[in-house]
Amino acid sequence: MPTRGRPLKRELGPLGIFCIAAGAMISSGLFVLPSVLYDQVGPGMVLAYLLAGLLMLPAVLAKAELATAMPKAGGTYFYIERSLGALAGTFGGLANWLSLGLKSAFALVGMGAVAQLLSPDLPLKLVAAGACLALTSVNLLGVKEAERLQIWLVLGLLGVLVGYVVLGGRHVQEANFLPFLPHGSGALLAATGMVFISYGGLTKVAGVAEEARNPGRNIPLGMFSAFLSVTVLYVLSVGITVGVLPPEELKSSLMPMALGAKRVLGKVGEVAMASAALAAFVTTANAGILSASRSPMAMSRDGLLPGLFGRTGRSGVPSWAVLTTGGFMASAVLFLDLEDLVKVASTMMLVLFAFVNLSLIIMRESKLQSYRPKFRVPLYPYLPAFGIVSYGFLIAEMGAVSLELTGAFFASVLVWYVAYVRPNARRRSALVHLVGRITDRNLGDGTLEEELLEVLRERDEVTEDRFDRLIRSCRVLDLDGPLSAEECFRKVAKELSEDLEMGEDEIFRRLMEREKASTTVVQPGLAIPHVVVEGEGKFVVLPVRCRGGAKFGEGPPVKVLFVLAGTRDERTFHLQALMAIAQIVQSEGFLRSWEEARGPEELKRLILLAERRRL
């Protein structure tokens, strides 16, 4: 069954978000992978890093939009499950956990390589497993401690890389770049797919979005600044390394960047770059445990995994999810081959990026009222569609082994879904809403809209006021029309009689008397009828939509009514309610959305979602 646990603390600022994104990117993909790629592609691997960065852009933009609309733990899992349903969500959540865990395990292998560089007798895999244990312990302490470690390590790492690029340019040998693509363009495309593991960490920020302060601003800012700065550093650093190292040395070294720094600055350069590499591996593994562990936690909340994974302790950390993630990473280090690890992780990431772009399209086209991102992907829908096609092409180029392993993984997920998830699945996804919109049928049950509404309130730090509570509990009258004012008031009186404990005829009489005294139409198409009733502490709001319009006097038909009824002691709140309604109806697109809403619940959510100052 779903479980809530303690809420996560919003402690990540813009610098912390930048450092999680940048630190998760700069890792083994830069310090270890070049030697693997050079053997397959040659000097043209520089182009593979650039192409991977460009092809990453649709996924970055899509995740930025989705993260600002739904800043919830689990990131990729949450978006896929809410848009495509429980089966896709189960696959996406476990694939996200697996790919982030494998990428972070790749970083741990890099830590072992650095240890061997300093002391050749040290066992690489045991060092990596020990580092995994230490970082898992740090993450159990809390996100603030993990963020603080991340910031210091990333800033030092960026400083070393900038120095390497600036000083190394004078030592580049142009002859090292020829021939540029000795194995042809096919090898370049396969390498581009492998390089995706280098960029995959960027989107880890989405996984911890629930712990970000002001996510609507800080998440896109942190992601884009990290993406641009790290892409430039990737291309320049790899280019410098190719230019300063002879081909045989580059292919044979597990730490080509450190070897390149030794060529440029001697032993000091080698030690500095090895230290930077160590910092990079720590930041990636640290960010990996932090982000990957949020997928099983989010899945547990939704009942897709046992409740154990959703429990958070006093520090606000999902302890069991963190421990499981750390254990999986240590196992991957000890038992998986390096190249297979890279290929499987990259294939999983490509599949997830395609799913994320598809999720974006589904969320946009479903026209959910509560889907309100602070950032929107430009060139929609062409950019997401381009991303889906590109990632599909790269997946096909990854080779039979990675495709077979991915297929086996999906089969395992399907078994888990049938055995555990499907009996508990209740929520209807955005895809169901989209199908309902296309077929002009109301297939949604409102649970997704309500959940996203609460997410928006948390994101914007909106405190529910009395007017919100009245709207949540009030009736909504949805009339076809056209009607006269008298016919409209008859229906209103019938709806209000129970709440006001008055007869319909008396309510109707008072509404008509008030209308005859002076019209309650406050602007074309909008009326706010109101009556005073006996007693104390009573106040009722009745929103009314008249599709065909209600005829009030000589003006255009009224389609929006807010009927207010209250006792004399509620005069102050009556004025506050009028102010709230004035702000609601003036919000952008309100009248159009009012006409398009598909029933009373959508009308109610439209009122709750409108921007206004709370009382």
What CA–CA distance (Å, rounded) separates 275 from 124? 16
Q: Tell me what pLDDT residue 239 has.
A: 94
Where is pLDDT greater, at 38 or 154?
A: 38
Query: What is the per-residue pLDDT for 203?
Result: 63
Neighbours of 129 (CB within 10 A): 20
pLDDT computed for residue 150 by the predictor? 67
* pLDDT level of residue 99 (50, 70, 90 thresholds): confident
3-state secondary structure of 312: coil
Higher pLDDT, 363 or 441: 363
Comparing 113-122, 143-152, 355-364, the range with the smallest average pLDDT is 143-152
Same fold, 14-424 and 463-609: no
pLDDT at 397: 77
Q: Is the dihedral of CA 154, 134, 128, 106 positive or negative?
A: negative
Q: For residue 586, is pLDDT > 60?
A: yes
193/286 Cα distance (integer angstroms): 24
Say which CATH topology domain 463-609 has: Mannitol-specific EII; Chain A (3.40.930)
| 178: phi then psi, degrees, rounded to nearest 5 | -120, 135
> Got the DSSP string for 380-422?
TTHHHHHHHHHHHHHHHTT-HHHHHHHHHHHHHHHHHIIIIIG
Q: For position 107, what pLDDT does the model report?
A: 78
Encode pLDDT of 444-483 as tens digits.
556 777 878 887 887 777 788 999 999 999 999 999 979 9
Q: How confident is the model at residue 207 (pLDDT cuts 50, 70, 90)?
A: low
The band of 1, judged by pLDDT with boundaries at 50, 70 and 90, is very low
Most confident of 27-41, 216-230, 342-356: 216-230
Q: Is the per-residue pLDDT at 13 higher than 80?
A: no
pLDDT at site 548: 93
pLDDT grade for 347, boundaries at 50, 70 and 90: confident
CA separation for the pair 191, 454 (Å, rounded): 43
- Inform me whether the pLDDT recorded for 163 exceeds 90: yes
What's the pLDDT score for residue 325?
87
Distance CA(58)–CA(444), nearest Å, equals 29
Lowest mean pLDDT among 66-70, 202-206, 480-484: 202-206
Q: Which one is predicted more confidently, 68 or 104? A: 68
Pick from 339, 171, 329, 340: which is nearest to 261 by CA? 171
Average pLDDT, stretch 491-497?
A: 95
Q: How high is the pLDDT of residue 143?
A: 56
- pLDDT for res 3: 47
Grouping H, G, I as helix, E, B as strand and the rest as coil, residue 565 is strand
pLDDT at residue 427 greater than cutoff 70 = no
Task: Specify whether the CB–CB gap between 490 and 566 falls below 8 A.
Answer: no
Degrees (nearest 5) of the Cα angle 189, 191, 196? 100
Most confident of 80-84, 538-542, 594-598: 538-542
* The CATH number of domain 14-424 is 1.20.1740.10: yes
**Mean per-residue pLDDT over the chain, rounded:** 85
Domain limits, the chain: 14-424, 463-609
Percent of the chain whose predicted confidence (pLDDT) is above 90: 34
Residue indicated by tokens 């569609």: 385
Residue 339: the pLDDT is 66
Q: Can you give the pLDDT at residue 2?
A: 46
Q: 10 Å Cβ neighbour count for 163?
A: 17
* Of 571 and 322, more confident: 571
Is residue 440 over pLDDT 90? no
Cα–Cα distance measured from residue 140 to residue 312, given in angstroms and rounded to the nearest whole number: 10
pTM for the whole structure: 0.78
Binning pLDDT at 50, 70 and 90, where does residue 61 land?
Answer: very high
Look at residue 544 and give its three-state secondary structure: strand
485: left (phi over 0), alpha (psi -120 to 50) or beta: alpha
- Tell whether the model's pLDDT for residue 186 goes beyond 90: no
Q: What average pLDDT does range 491-520 have in this prediction? A: 94
Between residues 10 and 102, the one the model is more confident about: 102
Q: Which two tokens stand for residue 87?
A: 């089966």
What pLDDT, on the 0 to 100 scale, is given for residue 140? 78
Between 32-36, 114-118, 598-602, the lowest mean confidence (pLDDT) is in 114-118
pLDDT, mean of residues 229-241: 93
* CA 137 vs CA 73, 113, 146: distances in Å: 20, 22, 10
Whether 415 has a pLDDT exceeding 90, the answer reads yes
Looking at residue 341, its pLDDT comes to: 66
